Structure 1
Amino acid sequence: MRRRNVQEQQTDILQRERQLAVALRESLAGYESVDIYATPLEQVLTSLDELFLLVIVGEFNSGKSALINALLRAPVLEEGVTPTTAKITKVHYGEQNRRIQLDQDTVEQFYPADFLRNISIVDTPGINAVLREHERMTKDFIPRSDLILFVTSADRSFTESERQFLESIRAWGKKVFIVLNKADLLRTPDEIAEVIAFIDENCKRLLGFKPEIFPVSVLEAQRSHTAIGHEAIRLWESSRIGALEDYLFLKLDEGERARLKLLSPLGVLQKLIAEIKGAVEQRARLLAEDDRTVNAIEGNLQQFRKEMVQNFSHRLGEIENIVLEMGQRGDRFFDDTMRLTRSLELIRADKIRQEFEETVVGDSAARIDGMVRDLTDWLTDQEQRFRQYTLEYVDRRRKESSVRDDQMVGSINRQFDYTRNTLLRAVFEKANELVKSYDRQEEAEVYSKELQKAVVQALLVGAGGLTLGTIGAATAAAVGLTFLDLTGITAGVVVVILGIFIIPARKAAAKRKFDEKMQELRQRLHALMNEQFTKELNGMIQRIYDALAPYIRFVHAEQEKVAGMRQQLASMEAEVLEIKGAIEEM
């Protein structure tokens, strides 16, 4: 009953591990260059359905294949003093000794050894060999292993290349036993103990773990197979292979193998999650810088808008003051001119017109025209300056970013950085094009026409007896502000004055009417010019936004992806710990 419960627990844990591996694979679907994780994730899923995998690794000529032959008690695998294992060789139980080529890198060897019913042994190409492809195959297979026997040689134990390889193995969370082969080269037990102590100390100091170490002599084990009688027994005992067999096939019982089998994929998943988490955090830091860049540009655009509005308000106020002054002069003109004592003068319309033009209108048209032209120059200058500032800002950001290309961790981030830098270059080129294509003279003409049109529309109010203009707005916009016939006011004023001469009581009402028209003129001038300015300012800012839009969208989209990935990885980390706890409680 208890055995069935344990099996049910194991099945449940295997299912949870499978779901976790699939979830991690799916979570990477939206990320660049995830192929680097595809192989280990597939290996995790494959290993869940395999027998316990005992993987033999080590440098070339350390005796890996010979060790497997010693365990099989037969020369099943090829041996040699030069690298002989060029493929991953999986040794399984089979009724007959036969060999199958699975693919370019993998061979299956079948042999009728009883312990292979529960354990599969994997022979790997030697590391630190001339052919680096052999080392790659071995490293790529490590994630599938459940237990690793690292074979080192007594005549060159714990080399720097071995330390580096052991470090990479441990990173996958694998349990490692060390087999010290060629112990027969050491003359005394004290020498063997000294080498064991050396390996043990360096593993603890440099790699942070205390290994099980088995000194053996594969050569003496092989000799025992051909010797007879007491000599065969002596050679076998001297080889110490028996102690390794006892550990692998007796102490490492079904329950312990099951525990290691269940823990092994978790180590791989934990390493992958940690790597991806590190890459995501690095990406988040870069995006935080990008976000600050975007916020800075948006903040500068807002400040640019604020300063432009304030400056324009001041300039518009100066234009309105011209109209206000004209209205004040008009009031004085009414008071000074339209009196009964000047009745004879008032009937001379041409004299009244001339006096009104000189006294009230004066140089108002020219002053307004000049201010509108100054306003046009100011607008074009400010847009050109801000375009150039934005270009330089983006270019600095692009150059700062490109310096960090070599500091990116992992292919997933290198691809992200490539995409990001490509986009920054494109944005820079778009901004540069925006600056180069800016024709100050052409833009000034456009702004001038639009602003002049707004002024014309304000002045041509055409209400009642006071007509502030004598030609149409369309014609006015075509010829510019200098056309403004503010002297057209004269005709209306003359009519009003003659009416006052006939009916003096209308003087106060006419004066109020004049003041109302001046007030209306100021309001219309303010509204129409402000509307036109707002339109032009929005156009300026929108053109800059359009150039930056791909970069801004990229940053925001990537930030959302990072936030989602963080949440998923945190959940997966918690699931790994929960599964580990369940395994330990079995």
Structure 2
Amino acid sequence: MLRNLLDQQQADLLQKERALLEDLRVTLARLDATPEDQRRLTLALRQLEELFLLVIVGEFNAGKSAFINALLGQKLLAEGVTPTTNRINVLRYGAEQSQTLREEDVLVLTLPVAWLQEINVVDTPGTNAVIQRHQEITEDFVPRSDLVLFITSADRPFSESERTFLSRIRDWGKKVVIVINKIDIFEQEDDIQQITQFVEDNAQTLLGVRPQIFPVSARLAQKAKTVTGVERTALWQASRFGPLEEFILSTLDQRQRVRLKLENPLGVAARLQEQYQATTQARITLLTEDFRTIDTIDSQLGAYEEDMRHDFKYQLSHVDNVLHEMSARGMEFFDDTVRVARVFDLVNTSKVKGEFEEKVIANAVQEIETQVGELIDWLVERDFKQWQGVMDYLNRRAEQHQDRIVGQLGGQFEFNRRELLASVGRAAREVVAGYDRIGEARQLADSVQMAVAQTAIAEVGALGLGTVLVVILHTTLADVSGVLAAGAVAALGLYILPTRRRKAKADLKTKMETLRGNLAASLSTEFEQELSRSVRRIREAMAPYTRFVRSERTKLSEIESHLLQAASDLRALRAQVQEL
């Protein structure tokens, strides 16, 4: 459409429409709209600058080519009972008649016909073409039209394929004028009226509006334009082509064409806005379910941590009980040993140490090692089962929605989402499949041993946990034995034994409490570190998926807002255009 043909009001509306469609194009690009839909919007924008586009559609034997030939007043297009139009024919004005193949399926014909200076006409293959490509190129060209002339045949009006195609035209928001061709097959006026009423009623039901309908005979109109005199007049009146020709060439004036030209992209934009609004809402709904997936796993991890800490106290109590029982045996040992009746035994330090090891330490070292080993195995097993739980949940989540998702939303969004969800599942499966329980337990045991040793002695080397405990307990024994040293007993006299016994018991209690505290602290520290590592690994595996869901939700919420605003702006602009 040339700008110098527009008045100021029309030019302002054109500018607003271009800006609105450009914004919508950017929004659809952010939404990864299909290349085909983005191309349609681009073409709609481009055609705002072109001449009025009249697209003629209908079944292959409805007489479309004959109708155009009658309109042109010359037999330019081939006619026949089989599909004769196998591409889009674009008729434009030219000083000389010519043909140019612009695209594989678009043939541009230039003709020295005056009214083509303001209107371009498009002849399409049949809507019921046997060749699928013919059907596709016809349906592809409809969104570009400013006005659709739908040709139906009087001998088979409003067929099922025509209903289907008209519904698609309606979805694009196009103005449709229906032409009932071949009325010359009827001899009675009542038959023509009945067919016209039938088409009108069905079209109104389908389109939601009562369209303009022109019953004509293109064959008689063509013939009328080739003869003169009375015969011409009779044929022209019988063809009823005059009112339709008047509508196209005169009634459809400049202002009406401008209005339809401006309405065309708005219909395309409204269709795409509605389509991608639904897509956006579907994606947001899907992401809401993804958020629930993330929240569920977060809740599971929170419950896992809480349960683990609770159960750890129970597991740790087994170790603590061993030391508590050993401490009780130590108290009993001092009550039995540090008394006057055994004063000569006390002089034999090695004997006292031997009894202490036998009666107090006993098998405590082995029991502690066993309990710590069981605690480590328990921790490793729970970590493994947590990974299994995450993996199983994600697998169920993916399978639950796979059939509904694939092929419906599509685009990069769905590819990224499914890939990230699958990557978390793969990470969980890889951890579960390659989980080395023995190696994990050994590594954790070494860490516990080192932590325990560093709280008690300076150097450990390659000592095992049991050896470390023996060293610690013997250090405790040496400290207690110093209190009971024979020299001290001899020097101070037997009356000091009760004091020494109390001192030995107090020192043992202090040493054992320190040992219990250090061992519990070391095990607790290692437990917390391992628990944090376990949860962190799961969260790190989830991180890309989580980031995608959150960022997409933010982006889609913004896009949804833009699309809703676009819908409002399109309605307002369409109302202004319709007032022209």
Specify if TM > 0.5: yes
Name 2:317's counterpart in structure 1: 317
Name 1:383's counterpart in structure 2: 383
Q: Deviations over 1:411-453 (max 9, x none)?
A: x526644554444444433322221111222222222222233
Name 1:232's counterpart in structure 2: 232
Select 1:568's aligned residue among 536, 559, 562: 562
* 1:583 counterpart letter in structure 2: V
Name 1:553's counterpart in structure 2: 547
SS of corresponding position for 1:130? coil
State the 1:523 CA deviation. 2.6
* 2:450 counterpart letter in structure 1: K
Name 2:393's counterpart in structure 1: 393
User: Contact 2:53 / 2:122 at 8 angstroms: preserved in 1?
Assistant: yes
> Are 1:442 and 2:435 counterparts?
no
SS of corresponding position for 1:55? strand
For 1:107-186, list aligned pairs within 5 A. Answer: 107-186=107-186
* 1:322 counterpart letter in structure 2: V
- Cα distance in 2 for residues equivalent to 1:191 and 1:218: 18
> Are 1:495 and 2:482 counterparts?
yes
For 1:5-404, list aligned pairs within 5 A. Answer: 7-32=7-32, 34-331=34-331, 333-334=333-334, 337-339=337-339, 343-404=343-404
- Cα distance in 1 for residues equivalent to 2:283 and 2:136: 28
- Cα distance in 2 for residues equivalent to 1:84 and 1:113: 23
Normalised to the residue count of structure 2, the TM-score between the two structures is 0.91
Select 1:476's aligned residue among 447, 463, 478: 463
Gap change, CA 1:421 and 1:452, over 3 Å in 2: same
- Cα distance in 2 for residues equivalent to 1:475 and 1:430: 34
Select 1:517's aligned residue among 511, 517, 535: 511
SS of corresponding position for 2:49? coil
- Cα distance in 2 for residues equivalent to 1:385 and 1:549: 20
- Cα distance in 1 for residues equivalent to 2:372 and 2:481: 30
- Cα distance in 2 for residues equivalent to 1:415 and 1:482: 60
- Cα distance in 2 for residues equivalent to 1:249 and 1:559: 52
Number of aligned positions between the proteins: 571
User: Contact 1:476 / 1:484 at 8 angstroms: preserved in 2?
Assistant: no
For 1:405-484, list aligned pairs within 5 A. Answer: 405=405, 408-409=407-408, 413=410, 416-458=413-455, 460=456, 472-477=459-464
> Are 1:539 and 2:533 counterparts?
yes
- Cα distance in 2 for residues equivalent to 1:97 and 1:5: 26
* 2:155 counterpart letter in structure 1: D
Runs of 5+ unmatched residues, structure 1: 463-471
Give the stretch that moved more between structures: 14-23 or 188-197. 14-23
User: Contact 1:73 / 1:225 at 8 angstroms: preserved in 2?
Assistant: yes
State the 1:247 CA deviation. 1.9
- Cα distance in 1 for residues equivalent to 2:5 and 2:213: 35
User: Contact 1:283 / 1:413 at 8 angstroms: preserved in 2?
Assistant: no
* 2:217 counterpart letter in structure 1: S
- Cα distance in 2 for residues equivalent to 1:210 and 1:248: 18
Give the stretch that moved more between structures: 137-146 or 570-579. 570-579
State the 1:176 CA deviation. 0.2
User: Contact 2:480 / 2:504 at 8 angstroms: preserved in 1?
Assistant: no
- Cα distance in 2 for residues equivalent to 1:228 and 1:88: 33
* 2:535 counterpart letter in structure 1: I
- Cα distance in 2 for residues equivalent to 1:156 and 1:82: 16
Normalised to the residue count of structure 1, the TM-score between the two structures is 0.90
User: Contact 2:476 / 2:508 at 8 angstroms: preserved in 1?
Assistant: no
Gap change, CA 1:489 and 1:361, over 3 Å in 2: same
Give the stretch that moved more between structures: 572-581 or 29-38. 29-38
- Cα distance in 1 for residues equivalent to 2:526 and 2:230: 110
User: Contact 1:377 / 1:444 at 8 angstroms: preserved in 2?
Assistant: yes
State the 1:134 CA deviation. 1.4
- Cα distance in 1 for residues equivalent to 2:552 and 2:67: 51
State the 1:161 CA deviation. 0.5
- Cα distance in 2 for residues equivalent to 1:496 and 1:489: 11
* 1:197 counterpart letter in structure 2: Q
Q: Deviations over 1:294-328 (max 9, x none)?
A: 22222212211111111112222332333344444
* 1:430 counterpart letter in structure 2: A
Q: Deviations over 1:95-122 (max 9, x none)?
A: 3333332222222222233322322221
- Cα distance in 2 for residues equivalent to 1:278 and 1:133: 29
Gap change, CA 1:16 and 1:40, over 3 Å in 2: same
Gap change, CA 1:494 and 1:513, over 3 Å in 2: closer
Gap change, CA 1:63 and 1:480, over 3 Å in 2: farther
- Identity percentage of aligned residues: 39
Gap change, CA 1:393 and 1:95, over 3 Å in 2: same
- Cα distance in 2 for residues equivalent to 1:237 and 1:70: 14
State the 1:390 CA deviation. 2.1
Name 2:577's counterpart in structure 1: 583
Q: Deviations over 1:185-229 (max 9, x none)?
A: 122111011111111121223443321110001111111112221
Gap change, CA 1:420 and 1:4, over 3 Å in 2: closer
Q: Deviations over 1:136-163 (max 9, x none)?
A: 1111111111111001111111110011
Runs of 5+ unmatched residues, structure 2: none
- Cα distance in 2 for residues equivalent to 1:353 and 1:28: 85
User: Contact 1:279 / 1:413 at 8 angstroms: preserved in 2?
Assistant: no
State the 1:30 CA deviation. 3.9
User: Contact 2:96 / 2:110 at 8 angstroms: preserved in 1?
Assistant: yes
- Cα distance in 1 for residues equivalent to 2:424 and 2:82: 57
